[in-house]
């Protein structure tokens, strides 16, 4: 089990190296220097903040950082997947039906759930292990695994084929707690379903926990050849979000290596 303090720190500390945070810190420092009449330093910091914000908001930077993550485990057609005993589905795809919502909230990573259902329906995995708990600060009365089970059932996976692990709070615990279930179910070949960008860290975490997995990547966000164009240099909110997500994943991979979790 990962200490609770680490769970908090792992979510909070990366915020300080996200592009928006770095820009705000630089602007704050620039203001302080300008107040002290250190104009040259203040102006330099403002220019640095503008350059960082611009570059991190361009599709060129965003797709480059994200493509490098996704390229490590390219998605495979169903016909090329081996027949496995178990499929492990990682969470992070839905939110609870908290008021005023009347339905569960699907986010970009919901591709994971559809892919798991698709793989099961194709006969490539007999059982689906859903590993997805809540963060300590969550107000949801349900573990995400419960919500994912309901969604899997809507997409054609029978209830008796779904096994839930609703205590894990990060990828490290996903691997550790899933291994207990995999061993108890005597699974041989185990398929792992998660987003393509998250797959390198997930595979490394499962291997470190003693589980050999076949990567079934999905939720690929960078498509096409990525030819350079003027549009690729124009800033956008979507590109800024993708850059931030990529940086967060790269930091996560580094932390896992430092901690000896991968």
Per residue in 65-75, pLDDT (tens digit) is: 999 999 999 99
Percent of the chain with pLDDT over 70: 94
pLDDT for res 43: 96
Percent of the chain with pLDDT over 90: 80
Is residue 3 within 8 Å of 240, Cβ to Cβ? Answer: no
- CA 60 to CA 62: how far, in whole Å? 6
pLDDT for res 105: 92
Quick one: CA torsion of 107, 6, 72, 239, rounded to 10 degrees? Answer: 50
Element at 214 (helix H, strand E): strand 213-218
Strand partners, 190: 86, 213
Q: Is 136 exposed, middle or buried (0-12, 13-18, 19+ CB in 10 A)?
A: exposed
Element at 7 (helix H, strand E): helix 4-12
Domains of the chain (ranges plus CATH)?
4-70+234-259 (no CATH), 78-218 (3.40.50.620)
- CA 15 to CA 2: how far, in whole Å? 20
- Among 134, 130, 166, smallest CA distance to 148 is for 130
Strand partners, 163: 129
Per residue in 242-254, pLDDT (tens digit) is: 999 999 999 999 9
């Amino acid at each position: 089990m990962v200490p609770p303090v680490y769970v908090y720190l792992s979510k909070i500390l990366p915020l300080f190296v996200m592009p928006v945070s770095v820009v705000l810190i630089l602007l704050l420092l620039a203001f302080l220097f300008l107040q002290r009449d250190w104009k040259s330093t203040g102006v330099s910091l403002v220019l640095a903040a503008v350059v960082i914000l611009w570059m991190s908001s361009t599709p060129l930077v965003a797709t480059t950082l994200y493509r490098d993550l996704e390229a490590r485990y390219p998605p495979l057609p169903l016909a090329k997947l081996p027949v496995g005993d178990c499929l492990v589905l990682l969470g992070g795809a839905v939110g609870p039906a908290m008021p005023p919502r009347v339905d569960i909230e699907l986010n970009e990573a919901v591709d994971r759930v559809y892919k798991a259902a698709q793989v099961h329906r194709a006969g490539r995995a007999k059982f689906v292990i859903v590993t997805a708990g809540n963060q300590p600060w969550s107000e949801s009365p349900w573990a995400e695994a419960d919500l994912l089970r309901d969604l899997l059932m809507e997409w054609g996976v029978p209830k008796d084929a779904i096994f839930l692990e609703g205590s894990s709070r990060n990828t490290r615990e996903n691997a550790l707690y899933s291994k207990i279930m995999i061993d108890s179910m005597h699974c041989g070949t185990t398929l792992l379903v998660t987003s393509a960008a998250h797959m390198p860290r997930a595979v490394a975490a499962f291997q470190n926990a003693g589980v050999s997995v076949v990567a079934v990547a999905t939720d690929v966000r960078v498509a096409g050849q990525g030819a350079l164009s003027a549009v690729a240099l124009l800033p956008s909110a979507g590109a800024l979000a993708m850059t931030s997500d990529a940086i967060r994943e790269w930091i996560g991979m580094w932390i896992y290596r430092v901690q000896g979790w991968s």
